[in-house]
Structure 1
Amino acid sequence: MAAGFGLVVRFTLHDADAARGFDELVARTLEGIRTCEHGTVVYVNHRVTGEPNVRVFYELYEDRAAFDSHEQQAHTRHFLEEREKFVADTEVTFLEQIDGKV
C-alpha cells in the first residue's frame, strides 16, 4: 500500500447526552463504512481519558480518491448533517506519513 491519506478529527461535544447521541450516530455511520467503503483502511472513534465529552477519530484511506469517495457516501453526508446537534467544536488535522509499518 502507498502512504495513504490520513486525518485526525477531534470533536468536543456539548454534554453527556450529546456524547451518547454522537456515539449512536457514529455506530450507524460505521455500518455504511464497513460495507461500502473498500478504500477506507481505518476509521475509529476514540473516547479521550479524562475528557468524557471529547471524541477523536483516526481515519486512514488508501489514497485521496478513497477519502473523496468517503465524503460523497450517503451515510457520510447524513453523519455530517446530523453531528451538528451534538458538536460544540471540531478540529481537523490532515496527516502526511513520514515512516512506519503498514
Structure 2
Amino acid sequence: MFAIAVRFDLHDTAAAERFDELVALTVPGIRAEEPGTLVYTPHQVRDEPLARLFYEVYRDEQAHAAHEARPATAAFLEQVRGLTRQLRVELLADLPS
C-alpha cells in the first residue's frame, strides 16, 4: 500500500466554500473510477476552518500515479491552486509491528 496525507490551507472563507464545492464535484469520480484508490477521504481540520486534509490510500505507487494522471485530478489541482495559500504533502509509512 501507498498512503499520503495532503493538507490545504485556504486563503479565506470564500476560498474554503469554493474548495468544498470542488471536492463535492471531484471525489465521487475518484471513488467510482479508480479501483486502485482504496481510501480517499477529505476532512476539515477541527478548530481550523480554513484547513482541509485529504487522507489517501492507494493499492501501490502505480495506483497513485494513475490518480495523479487523471485529467479530473489535474483540473481539480489547477482550480484549487488559486484558493490555497499553502499545500503540504506527507508520504506515510507503516510503523513496524
Q: TM-score, normalised by structure 2?
A: 0.94
Of 18, 21, 25, the match for 2:18: 21
Determine the structure 1 residue equivalent to 2:31: 34
Deviation track 1:55-78 (CA, whole Å, cap 9, x = no partner) reads 011000000010000001111011
Q: Is the 8 A contact 2:10 2:85 kept in 1?
A: yes
Cα shift at 1:96 = 1.2
Q: Aligned partners of 1:31 and 1:50: how far apart in 2?
A: 26
How many residues align? The count is 97
Residue of structure 2 in register with 1:88 after alignment: 85
Please state how far the C-alpha of 1:44 moved relative to its aligned partner.
0.8
Distance in 2, matches of 1:46 and 1:23, equals: 10
Aligned counterparts, 1:36-51, within 5 A: 36-51=33-48
Structure 1 residue 99: Cα displacement:
5.0
Runs of 4+ residues deviating >2 angstroms? none
Aligned partner (choices 59, 63, 82) of residue 60 of structure 2: 63
- The alpha-carbon deviation at position 46 of structure 1 amounts to 0.5
What RMSD, in angstroms, separates the aligned Cα atoms of the two structures? 1.2
TM normalised by structure 1 equals 0.90
Identity %, equivalent residues: 44
* Structure 2: 5+ residue stretches without partners: none
Stretch deviating more after TM superposition (50-59 or 90-99):
90-99
5+ unaligned residues in a row in structure 1: which ranges? none
